Amino acid sequence: MPSPVSLPRLSWGDPSSSRHALLAHGLGSNGALMWRYGLALADAGWHAVAVDLRGHGLAPRALDYTIEAYAADLAITRPEGRDHWELVVGHSLGGAAATRAAADHFGWARRLVLIDPAIHLSDRDRDIVRESQERSFDDPTQAAVRAEHPTWHEHDVELKALSAQQASRWAVEQTSLQNQDWDVRDAAAHLLIPTHVIASDPAVYSIFTGSLVDEVLANPRIGMSIVPKAGHSPHRDQPEATMQVFHAALLSLGAE
């Protein structure tokens, strides 16, 4: 069992709310980049808490960057004065870690929303992810982010550049190297809580597509939506459409 680390937090909404959500970002990002979900939840009356995952943002550095280690950190992260989250939202790596944490620690979360989750990565996807991370670290400036993603909101441009400056390049590289068999399909199959996957558009780029979809959706507790014209980070590529799909997902999970 990996030794967990305590993760730094930032939040949106009223802490006295009866509904608390946890937000977990993707590889090479930071908690602040989950701001679209934080705002949407706060506007709906939730208290949303985003964390920096180990090796990212202001989180502690470590040696273990397996998905199990990321999941161990999430599993000990709880709302103040409560023993469970009403909702956990995880993007990419955060989605994989949340899936593992929810499967291994029943009662930690009541519902999951997984944003283009990294449930199982093919060799092609691993190469694409590695090349994307290398570009981010080689030029961690706003100008580089803006040139690659000209339609992103200025907050996302600023925060994506900052996340590359904050993250440990070694930690990000080790996340790939230490997870040669990147696969939490077993955890997805054993989820016992209502779960909804918000996938990106395969016509643009998605890591949750093909036969993987049928395999994961074989669990009757898991549903799925797709955000048209969105790449791997739909909340940055197509924010308005993604928030509409997100609210619909919450409604389907009985969370609105």
Does residue 152 belong to any structural domain of this protein?
yes
pTM of model > 0.85: yes
**242 SS3 class:** helix
Does residue 194 belong to any structural domain of this protein?
yes
Does residue 139 belong to any structural domain of this protein?
yes
Number of domains in the chain: 1
User: What are the Cα distances from residue 215, in Å, to 36, 141, 161, 227, 234?
Assistant: 29, 39, 35, 20, 22
Predicted pLDDT at 12: 98
Predicted pLDDT at 151: 97
Does residue 2 belong to any structural domain of this protein?
no
Does residue 1 belong to any structural domain of this protein?
no
Whichever domain contains 135, its CATH number is: 3.40.50.1820
% of the chain beyond a pLDDT of 90: 95
Predicted pLDDT at 1: 75
What is the residue range of 209's domain?
9-252
**196 SS3 class:** strand
**201 SS3 class:** coil
Predicted pLDDT at 57: 98
Does residue 223 belong to any structural domain of this protein?
yes
User: What is the residue type of 14?
Assistant: D
Burial 218-239 (b: 16+ CB within 10 A, else e): eeeebeebbbeebbbbbbbbbb
Predicted pLDDT at 206: 97
* pLDDT(40) > 90: yes
Does residue 167 belong to any structural domain of this protein?
yes
Residue range 193-220: mean pLDDT, rounded: 97
- CA 27-49-132 angle, to 5 degrees, is 15
Predicted pLDDT at 117: 98
Please name the residue that has the structure tokens 């016992």.
Answer: 192
pLDDT one-digit tens code per residue, 96-115: 999 999 999 999 999 999 99
Residue range 184-213: mean pLDDT, rounded: 97
